[in-house]
Amino acid sequence: MLTAIRRLLMVVVSAFILLPSSLPAQQKPQPFDLIRWNDGKFVYGVDYYPEAWDESMWEEDAAIMQAAGINFVRLAEFAWAKMEPAEGQFDFAWLDRALKVLNAHGVKAVLGTPTASPPAWLYAKYPDIAAMDENGVRYRYGSRRNYCLHSPNFLAATRRIVTAMAEHYKNHPGVLGWQIDNELGDPNCYDPACRAAFQNWCRTKYKSLGALNKAWGTIFWGHTYSTWAQIPLPWNTLFKTYNPSLALDYHRFHSDSTHDYLKLQVDMLRKISPHKAITHNEMGMFDNVDYSRLNTALDFVAWDNYPMFGNQNYSEYMGPGLAHDLMRGSKNNQNFMVMEEEGGLPGWSVFWGRQAAPELYRVWSYQAVAHGADGVCYFRWRTSRYGTEQYWQGVLDQDSYPNSRYKIVAQTGKELAQLTGLLHGSKVVSQAALLVSPDSRWAFHIQPTVEGFDYNHQLHLYYDAFRRAGVNVDVVFPQEDFSAYKILVAPTLFVVDKPLVEKLTNFVKNGGILILTFRSGVKDEHNVVTDQTLPGPLAELAGIAIHEFDPRTNQEQQVIIHDGTAIPARTWFDILGPTTARSLGTYAKGYYAGKAAITQNRFGNGVVYYVGTELAPEYYDVGIRQVVGRLGIESGPKLPDGVELATREKDGKKILFLLNYTDKAQTISLGQPYRNALTGESEPADVQISAFDAKVLVGAGF
């Protein structure tokens, strides 16, 4: 079967031969230099909570950290109650003492503004600061970040604590910068303050009710609004149905509100403490906010990486690679840091993650570095004795015994210090990009295509194929420039507007390769179905017309290629009618047997592919290798399952990261010998890598 697929793909990619091998360079702002910010050291640390431990332990903690190569901690993001024990009364003396101990051992800090966990006295005095759920019930005190972003009392309290912290630490030499809040993005709030704010947001965007009613199609069911105050929130309606246009704008409103709250704190910190950097700890594939817009206010991106916790939409072996690249891509692909790197078994009161081999904590740290991280900070230093996270292991457990995890962290710390000179100034360089559309993600949440459809899974189908081919991938967002790339994949581009269509058109005209997939071009920017033949405004670009489609049924479909081989297909079936495109594969079953499933269209100097269904995984692996080869993009060797090859570049020379996530030793044929940057020894062309191991390799010139 694979032989047949390869024959098909030789035909599929034949059009690439005449395509240009390079595209204009992308203009990007000067990136923030994390290593220079940390006095020339790789940012290597732990999340530390000195307030939860007897002060007599601090000196020993700092000494053990220093011995492990730790030079950085994040502090205080949950310490509001200790820093402001009563309204307007502040106590930073304990934190001053903790910083003094840490700084004496070469450990500097980022301070978290503590707004993620308001104190009990604040909720008691101002109960309206709590967010309201979609049933009209305010959340009770006892969790964290259960606040309303539009509560005047909460905003006033935020200004007070952030101002006090900034004034106190603005000139502290041991404080490198600030982390805003903690994992912003939820909950959605449905209280009167948020409803009024949403109505004002709509007024600002649409200017007139007539424009809003037209954009949202409120004539349906007679839901036309005659005053701004009539506009509801998408909450507890009968059957949980509401206008999808309203719902998409509410997602945007919530994302904008989150950005506004972050920027409120950023603006105060920049005014009072202008010389200290500002970041926020984000959540990878989390999609309740648009990170590409949230991060415009920050100096650098940081995020929280837990490969073994919950359903993270990660690949079985390569784990959070896409999340790393999405985080990097959310701020112009500049180098980032991991503010919370898994340091032990994840577990809350009611659910657990999976236990990992201790060596994997080192491999995951190197994976972060390979994807562009210049900083890794483990969560947490010591497992908590209290509260919801008693089962969430730290680097140390409650008894402070130097366990296997600590030894791995210490080993990695020494290695990264050794590699800092090599890594400093290097970055991820990619010629392939994956387009992530927050509007499409939200629209699929509002109206899922079919049961079980997952936008992130569609991203992974293509992303994982690139990674298995040893090809770096950038993540780009609709408002960005695509011209630096040779190939752009835009899976299930459900919601599109005119500016995005124009950018995609210019990208292809100028020689780019664009891959579109099923359910593309269906909705406009208001989440309204296009009145054009599908794929709507992308139809001319793709050279097809879609007059019929078939959602997934209990029986899987097949796509027949030209030699008669059948490739399994599933999820959704766009029935393609080529106009200027040519068919590369047809459906095998049903009333549309013989109709096109995959097409290729030459447009300008480029090519557009439309894949009308989800194919078996081997199609993506073989196809991506063929495509990148024809475009002159260097791919890596064939990799065993569970092994990743990623690269950074410095002065035009590559640094290779070979990562083995499996419990077996593996051999990879690299085609030439390399030098091991950690041992200084030469590695043969057929390099061997032990179970749960990472190697950093360089060629001549380093």
Work out the average pLDDT over 349-361.
Answer: 88
Q: How far is CA 484 from CA 22, 30, 101, 332, 511, in A?
A: 8, 16, 47, 12, 11
Work out the average pLDDT over 285-291.
Answer: 97
pTM equals 0.94
Per-residue model confidence (pLDDT) at position 3: 47
Q: Are residues 440 and 478 in the same domain?
A: yes
Q: Are residues 70 and 128 in the same domain?
A: yes
Whether residue 91 lies inside any domain: the answer is: yes
The number of folded domains in the chain is 3
Find, among 611, 437, 627, the residue nearest to 517 by Cα: 611
Residues 6+ apart with CB under 8 A from 200: 228
Per-residue model confidence (pLDDT) at position 354: 86
Residue that terminates a domain, selected from 592, 607, 630:
630
| Domain extent for 678 | 643-698
Which amino acid, 515? I
Q: Please state the length of the chain.
A: 702
| pLDDT 10s digits, 673-688 | 999 999 999 999 999 9
* DSSP three-state, residue 485: coil
Query: What separation, in Å, do the N-terminal and C-terminal C-alpha atoms of the chain show?
Result: 43
Q: Are 374 and 43 in contact (CB under 8 A)?
A: yes
Asked if pLDDT for residue 313 goes beyond 90, the answer is no
Asked if pLDDT for residue 215 goes beyond 70, the answer is yes
Work out the average pLDDT over 324-336.
Answer: 98
Q: Parallel, antiparallel, or unpaired for β 281-282 and 277-279? A: unpaired
Whether residue 332 lies inside any domain: the answer is: yes
Region of poorest pLDDT, from 187-201, 391-405, 451-465, 668-682 = 451-465
Per-residue model confidence (pLDDT) at position 292: 98
Q: Are residues 51 and 191 in the same domain?
A: yes
| pLDDT 10s digits, 562-599 | 888 899 999 999 999 999 999 999 999 999 999 999 99
Region of poorest pLDDT, from 2-16, 133-147, 389-403 = 2-16
Find, among 492, 494, 473, the residue nearest to 484 by Cα: 473
Confidence of residue 482 (pLDDT cuts 50, 70, 90): very high
Confidence of residue 15 (pLDDT cuts 50, 70, 90): very low
Q: Are residues 566 and 678 in the same domain?
A: no
Find, among 393, 199, 184, the residue nearest to 279 by Cα: 184
Asked if pLDDT for residue 263 goes beyond 60, the answer is yes
Average pLDDT, the chain: 93
Q: Are residues 610 and 689 in the same domain?
A: no
Per-residue model confidence (pLDDT) at position 28: 53
Q: Are residues 283 and 407 in the same domain?
A: yes
Per-residue model confidence (pLDDT) at position 8: 41
Q: Which residue has the tokens 């007024």?
A: 203
Work out the average pLDDT over 116-142.
Answer: 96
Q: What is the CATH number of the domain that holds 682?
A: 2.60.40.1180
Distance (Å, whole) CA 129 – CA 261: 14
Joined together, the tokens standing for residue 529 give: 């179905």
At 655, phi and psi to the nearest 5? -110, 120
Q: Are 477 and 330 in contact (CB under 8 A)?
A: yes
Whether residue 93 lies inside any domain: the answer is: yes
Confidence of residue 9 (pLDDT cuts 50, 70, 90): very low
Q: Which residues are catalytic?
A: 183, 340
Q: Are residues 417 and 437 in the same domain?
A: no
Whether residue 71 lies inside any domain: the answer is: yes
Whether residue 136 lies inside any domain: the answer is: yes
Q: Are residues 415 and 524 in the same domain?
A: no
Residues 6+ apart with CB under 8 A from 192: none
Asked if pLDDT for residue 43 goes beyond 80, the answer is yes
Asked if pLDDT for residue 23 goes beyond 50, the answer is no
Comparing 23 with 374, the larger pLDDT belongs to 374
Q: Are residues 492 and 523 in the same domain?
A: yes
Asked if pLDDT for residue 20 goes beyond 60, the answer is no
Q: What is the 3-state secondary structure (H, E, C) of 572-610?
A: EEEEEEECCCEEEEEECCCCCCCCEEEEEEEECCEEEEE
Handedness of CA 424, 43, 460, 482 (dihedral sign): negative
| Backbone φ/ψ region at 651: left (φ over 0), alpha (ψ -120 to 50), beta | left
Joined together, the tokens standing for residue 139 give: 């959340």
Helix, strand, coil content of the chain in percent (nearest 5): 35, 20, 45
Q: What is the CATH number of the domain that holds 621?
A: 3.40.50.880
| pLDDT 10s digits, 151-186 | 999 999 999 999 999 999 999 999 999 999 999 999
Handedness of CA 460, 464, 465, 467 (dihedral sign): positive
Per-residue model confidence (pLDDT) at position 25: 44
Q: Are residues 670 and 571 in the same domain?
A: no
Residues 6+ apart with CB under 8 A from 230: none
Whether residue 392 lies inside any domain: the answer is: yes
Q: Are residues 413 and 562 in the same domain?
A: no
Sequential DSSP letters for 508-519:
HHTT-EEEEESS
Q: Are residues 491 and 551 in the same domain?
A: yes
Q: What is the CATH number of the domain that holds 139?
A: 3.20.20.80
| pLDDT 10s digits, 619-654 | 899 889 988 988 999 999 999 999 999 999 999 999
Q: Are 503 and 42 in contact (CB under 8 A)?
A: no
Whether residue 33 lies inside any domain: the answer is: no
Distance (Å, whole) CA 220 – CA 303: 42
Asked if pLDDT for residue 316 goes beyond 70, the answer is no
Widest CA span of the chain, in angstroms?
78
Q: Please state, for a pLDDT cut of 90, what percent of the chain lies above it.
A: 87
Distance (Å, whole) CA 570 – CA 448: 16
Q: Are 557 and 594 in contact (CB under 8 A)?
A: no
Find, among 432, 569, 545, the residue nearest to 5 by Cα: 569
Residues 6+ apart with CB under 8 A from 367: 319, 320, 321, 324, 644, 646, 657, 659, 694
Residue that terminates a domain, selected from 630, 662, 686:
630
Per-residue model confidence (pLDDT) at position 10: 42
Q: Which residue has the tokens 């209990």?
A: 554
Strand partners for 507 = none
Residue that terminates a domain, selected from 597, 630, 663:
630
Distance (Å, whole) CA 47 – CA 340: 7
